[in-house]
Chains A and B, each alone.
Chain A
Amino acid sequence: MKVAILGATRGIGRAIARRLAERGDTVFLLGRDETDLNQSASDLKIRAGKPEAVAGVATCDLEEPGSFAPALDRAEATLGKIDAVVVTAALFATQDRLEADPDFTRRLLTVNFANTVVFCEEARRRLLAKGGGTLCVFSSVAGERGRKPAILYGASKAGLSQYLEGLDHKFHAKGLRTICVKPGFVKTGMTEGLRQPPFAGEPDQVAVDVCRAIDRGRPVVYTPRIWALVMFVIRLLPRFVMRRIGF
């Protein structure tokens, strides 16, 4: 499988890229910083035991929509046909910080929703033009329900989940496999410094779940799996309860 990954240098994206490369897939890395991309490329080639594991790298920044098309063009030119595009990149901050910083709030909403959707549009057009493929995008359980600790971040992810569901409905018959990944709390640099809730997951475990979902074309993935149950309960909680609890 030939996979382009946006966000492959860090966190869950790094874990997914490693898993794909080690099992023999070919990856193309997209990210903000060229040096960082090259270091991750070295890491993946050595881990896979073959230089062909990484087809190439290209800079692509979710804050710069102008970078999307050229980066995906380079990925396509290098890989020939792209089988899957994976997007793990996003911005994150706590609700407290976002409430105190309207500029960062605007940036986060733009990156996580508007720009991610624009990137996905570029990606799915290319996939559909070659007869289909997989578009695997990281949303979040935070987008399932408006909750006090993640109102703004959650809203950006709710919009993204809605968009991905629509894509699946419209293009599934044309060969596009849209995968909306909804991770719960995962121990990465993104959640560094936060108090860990129960069921906090590891990036490697998430990578296993996501690679399996890509292989099987599952439209929605909760990971770690227990979060499907947690969110099922939270969706059922009536409003007067949600107003009272802090979760």
Chain B
Amino acid sequence: VSASLKTSNTLAGWGRMPVVPGTERRSEDLRALTAAQHLSRGLGRSYGDSSLPAAGDLEVATTTLADRILSFDEDTGILRAEAGLSLREIYRLFLTRGWFTPVTPGTQFVTLGGMVAADVHGKNHHRDGCFGAHVTELLMRVADGRLVTCSPTVETELFRATVGGMGLTGHILEVAFRMARVPSPWLWCESQRVRDIDEFIDGLKAASAEWPMTAGWIDCLTGGRHLGRGILIKGRWATPAEAPAHPPRPRKRLTIPFEFPRFVLGPLSIKAFNTLFYWQPLPTGVVHPESSFYPLDVLRDWNRMYGRGGLTQHQCVLPNEAGRGAARRFLEVLVARGGASFLCVIKDCGPEGVGLLSFPRPGISIALDIAVRKDTQELIDALNECVIKEGGRIYLAKDAFTRPEHFRAMEPRLPEFLRVRRRWDPEGKFRSAQSVRLFGDAPRTTGSPT
């Protein structure tokens, strides 16, 4: 096939930055597709370079056509599917039947394979942990070409390195996990205005003791006395008595048709948005699951709002041991740098999961959407230095800017992960642009396989 017939020859993550040379290969047959590839990619919702090929690799195996549900046991709730099945399909097919994934991230446009690779978490992390905690088995293609089944009890090391391992231990072909029973397809939410960061953290901890889902939005342009003011949201599944009789209708989606010019998400408009958002009337009651779980999914291609430069996200967890002041110190760094963030989400995390590199640990997680500008590298560096000082760490699925020395300083778990990975992939077949940047993988030299 001549080069001119290939699809567009660049790839990017959800942040549209960085952009690297690369082509997605797709097939319904993952076993055939993955035989010659060095990285799998799902729906491309990781923000940075996690799903991008390492320099010299040029292709990734995109799993989205492999989306069959292979089995579902109504008694145990265990669902087994090919890795390209999207959360949106699971949501569409199962929610009205009283089942849902035990954990959902903030978008439905992710694949099961991606949910395992990033070991995603949701608003219920303090109670139910990461997605990996509910995975019962994975079928993988490992570096020597074999198909290997791993689980919490079989090939445990491979399993623990793959959950949260960003696709660097092999291709995930099939995922089996335990679905959760839900009393209705609707949610019950309550919100409260919070005046500053200390009140926020106390509020989150108190809410988490009683509510299965908690999260908060922070106005991160306001400093001083009201640093960290925002809205704390608490939720649970609505009971059948509370829920409307009809199932939630699929929401209409709007498309952001073009890249917005820079001023649209500039400090002034964010300030105005934040003030309005903070003072909005706070509803209590039954909420559409999509508007609660996936507020941004109604805007197709919302990443275009961030303009040509793209966006990045910085998400870190600051451990409980660092004390209540850690979040305040982190926000002070952000506010001092004027790092206007349109979206700042705070959430308390529960215990660490099974994955050797899984992101969450007991503490406070803060996620910031940041439009990429000239000074973004310095901003991320400053935030990371604060994270290191507090003993926290960052979420790889969001990252595009972290320096390798910073990553090593915040990840004492990295050597153990690399050891297991070397055992399964001694020649370093699997790699991504991110693993080259952060883990010290060598980019592939074109030509001879040396």
A49 CA to B93 CA, complexed, in Å:
9
Assess whether A161 is interfacial by the CB under 8 Å rule: no
**B450 touches A (CB below 8 Å):** no
Cβ contact of A14, chosen from B5, B8, B28, cutoff 8 A: B28
The tally of residues in A whose CB lies under 8 Å from a CB in B reads 21
Is B69 touching A97 in the complex (CB atoms < 8 A)? no
Instruction: Report if A46-B25 is in contact (Cβ < 8 Å); known contacts: A96-B2, A193-B5, A193-B6.
Output: no
Q: What residue of chain A has the Cβ atom nearest to residue B23's Cβ?
A: A193
Which residues between 1 and 39 of chain A lie within 8 Å of chain B, taking CB atoms? 9-11, 14, 39
Q: Give Cα A10–Cα B70 distance, bound, in whole angstroms.
A: 15
Q: Does A42 interact with chain B (Cβ within 8 Å)?
A: yes
Q: Does A192 contact B (CB under 8 A)?
A: yes
* Interface 1/0 per residue, B347-385 and A, CB below 8 Å: 000000000000000000000000000000000000000
CA–CA, A187 and B383, complex, Å: 41
| Distance of B93 from chain A, by nearest CB (Å) | 6
Do residues B25 and A192 form an inter-chain contact, with CB atoms below 8 A? yes
Q: Which residues of B contact A196 (CB under 8 A)?
A: 7
Instruction: Give per-residue flags for A194-211: 1 if the beta carbon is below 8 A from chain B beta carbons, else 0.
Output: 111000000000000000
Q: Is A42's CB under 8 angstroms from B68's CB?
A: yes
> B330-345 vs A: 1/0 string, CB under 8 Å?
0000000000000000
User: B97 at the A/B interface (Cβ < 8 Å)?
Assistant: yes
| Cα–Cα, bound, A40→B71 (Å) | 10
Complex interface: chain B residues within 8 A of A42 (CB)? 68-71
B-contact 0/1 string along A73-104, CB 8 Å cutoff: 00000000000000000000010110000000
Please give, as numbers and ranges, the residues of chain A lying within 8 Å of B2 by CB-CB distance.
96
Q: Which A-chain residue is minimally distant from B66 (CB atoms)?
A: A189
B302 at interface by CB-CB < 8 Å = no
Is A188 an interface position by the 8 A CB rule? yes
What chain A residues lie within 8 Å of B97 (beta carbons)?
A: 49
Known contacts: A9-B28, A96-B2, A192-B26. The answer to whether A43 contacts B68 by CB under 8 A is yes
A195 with B26, Cβ < 8 A, contacts A40-B68, A43-B70, A189-B65 known: no
Decide if A212 is an interface residue (CB 8 Å cutoff): no
**How many Å from the CB of B242 to the closest CB on chain A?**
25
Contacts of A193 in B (CB 8 A): 1, 5-7, 23, 25
| Given A9-B28, A192-B27, A193-B6, A94 and B1 contact (CB-CB distance below 8 Å) | yes
Q: Name the B residues within 8 Å of A192 (CB-CB).
A: 25-27
Contact with A along B102-132 (1 / 0, CB 8 A): 0000000000000000000000000000000
A46 contacts B71, CB within 8 Å? yes
- Contact pattern, B 1-20, Cβ under 8 Å of A = 1, otherwise 0: 11011111000000000000
The answer to the question of B72 belonging to the interface, with a C-beta cut-off of 8 Å to chain A, is yes
The verdict on A235 contacting chain B, using a C-beta distance below 8 Å, is no
Q: Is A47 an interface residue (CB 8 A)?
A: yes
Give complex CA distance A189, B67 in Å.
13
Contacts of A14 in B (CB 8 A): 28
When distances are taken between beta carbons in the complex, the residues of chain B under 8 Å from A46 are 69, 71-72, 93
A195 lies within 8 A of B70 (CB): no
Q: Complex: how many Å from CA A3 to CA B69? A: 21
Report Cα–Cα, A243/B4, bound state, in Å.
Answer: 20
Please name all residues of chain A whose beta carbon is closer than 8 Å to the beta carbon of B29 when the two chains form the complex. Answer: 189
A10–B6 CA distance with the chains assembled, in angstroms: 21
Asked if B5 contacts A195 (CB within 8 A), the reply is yes
CB distance from A150 to the nearest CB of B (A): 12
| Residue from A10, A96, A188, A194 within 8 A of B7 (CB atoms) | A194
Task: Name 11 A/B residue pairs within 8 A (Cβ), A-sorted.
Answer: A10-B28, A39-B68, A43-B68, A46-B93, A96-B1, A96-B5, A188-B65, A189-B28, A193-B5, A193-B23, A195-B4
Binding site for A on B (CB under 8 A): 1-2, 4-8, 23, 25-29, 65, 68-72, 93, 97
Known A9-B28, A43-B69, A193-B7; further 18 A-B contacts with Cβ < 8 A: A11-B28, A14-B28, A39-B68, A39-B70, A42-B69, A42-B71, A46-B69, A46-B93, A94-B1, A96-B2, A96-B5, A188-B65, A189-B28, A189-B65, A193-B1, A193-B25, A194-B5, A196-B7
